[in-house]
Amino acid sequence: METSSSSSSSSSSSSISIGAIGIPVEIVSEEEMAFIEAALSSTRSLLSSSSSSRLSPLSTPPSLLARHASSSHTPPSLASPSAAVRAGDVEDCAPRVSLIKRFRSKKVLSVTDITSTEWCDKQMEFKVVHGKPKKTAAMVAGSNRHTELEKEVVEKIEIQVNSREESWALKFLNFVVGANQLLFEGLTREIPVVGVIQGRWMVGVIDEVRMPIGKAIMPILVDTKTRCTATVPSEAQKRNGRLQLMCYKYLWDYLVAGTFPPGRFFNHFGLNPLYILSDNIKQYTASLGCHAERFEDVVRYYRESCFLLPRSDDQLLLRYELQSDRSLLEECQFAHDAVWLENQVEECLKFWSGEREAAYVTEDEKWKCNFCSFSGICPVYAKASDSKFGHHSSYDHS
């Protein structure tokens, strides 16, 4: 689906989906939610990075420690970007830059930005500077599987949008109908979430939310990943999946706690709350039993819908399927760990804000380099022999 992220004069079609009992639900990508406009900057040399080590992630998350759902501290001052970095300059002399200012529209990050950074800082740096590499066959197969899962519970229709306000309005409306689907059917998929983590706006799309009907329990967040080989994922892959689901839980709980700040949201994204919605958006809103003339009306319905939902369960679920036959390889249920999540996000944000240089993968995870599209220009890979990295027949990071 394509939605406009430019001026209000542009227009595009946005997908809306209808649930099994006639409830519309939209399938929205994280990149579209964020209005991410990744700039290609091939004429600028990459900043060289030190080999500083990442926080040691936990193999098994410890028991849950409470943390307030909203953090509003002001990020430290960021280093100013240099005018240019010449090849051959001393590495430590090159000033760090804020990647979020240079490469992320409206300075908003997606959950994928966080998990990709945790996977490898340097690979993430290469992606934002040179652009994303072409999708592999495994990635395409993973995307196709998610489309199949979406179609099991929703049916897409198209609604034209004429502005960023209308694009966001549809995202909020699709959260509303997704919430209704969860409450009445006990299941929804591809539900968009947006919130503030450690002072930064972040967006994401939760694969699946389950809540058995008639039971007074909290909804369970689920993420399904596909693998091209019948092997269980590595600990690094499971750790990355845990981080992804914990980010989703944070954003879900942030919204249902009623902490979404409309005024701050309008100001940050440069949106007009008094924007008059087009007739087709008004008609769609009316079909949901709501009356909305302005963008702020939709935001009000969105917040009211959030109040109806309970916070998510502290137990999260990762599912791994074999791509060839959809068979279940493994299910990993684990407990949310607020302190571990806070530390991981904080470390990733330091990279994005320019407070630290990109770190390379740890010694025991250099096997990742065998499957990285940027290994040919990565200093740590070029200086090592092939045997040092080991050999792997497949790579599943979908």
Whether the pLDDT of residue 29 is over 90: the answer is: no
Higher pLDDT, 67 or 228: 228
Strands (E), the chain: 12-19, 109-110, 154-161, 187-197, 200-210, 220-227, 315-322, 328-335
pLDDT at 174: 87
Place of tokens 């990733």: 348
Report helix, strand or coil for 329: strand
Q: What percent of the chain has pLDDT over 70?
A: 65
pLDDT at 269: 95
Residue-wise pLDDT for 215-267, tens only, equals 668 999 999 998 988 999 999 999 999 999 999 999 999 999 999 999 999 99
Residue-wise pLDDT for 298-337, tens only, equals 999 999 999 999 999 999 999 999 988 889 999 999 999 9
Higher pLDDT, 331 or 371: 331
Could you tell me the end-to-end alpha-carbon distance of the chain, in angstroms, rounded to an integer? 20
Tokens of 227: 């693998």
Which domains, and CATH codes, for the chain? 12-39+96-389 (3.90.320.10)
Average pLDDT along the chain = 75
pLDDT at 43: 30
pLDDT at 213: 73
pTM over 0.75: no
Residue 104 belongs to what H/E stretch?
none
Residue-wise pLDDT for 174-209, tens only, equals 899 899 999 989 999 999 999 999 999 999 999 999
CA distances from 312 to 93, 126, 266, 320, 372 (A): 46, 35, 26, 21, 35
- What whole-number distance in Å separates Cα of residue 101 and Cα of residue 39? 11
Q: Where are the alpha helices (DSSP H) in 270-382?
A: 279-287, 295-307, 338-353, 379-382
Whether the pLDDT of residue 56 is over 50: the answer is: no
pLDDT at 285: 92
Give 279: exposed, middle or buried? Use CB within 10 Å, 0-12, 13-18, 19+: exposed
pLDDT at 157: 66
Confidence of residue 382 (pLDDT cuts 50, 70, 90): low
Q: Which residue from 277, 259, 18, 49 is spatially nearest to 157, judged by alpha carbons?
A: 18
Higher pLDDT, 83 or 377: 377
Report helix, strand or coil for 148: helix
Whether the pLDDT of residue 383 is over 90: the answer is: no
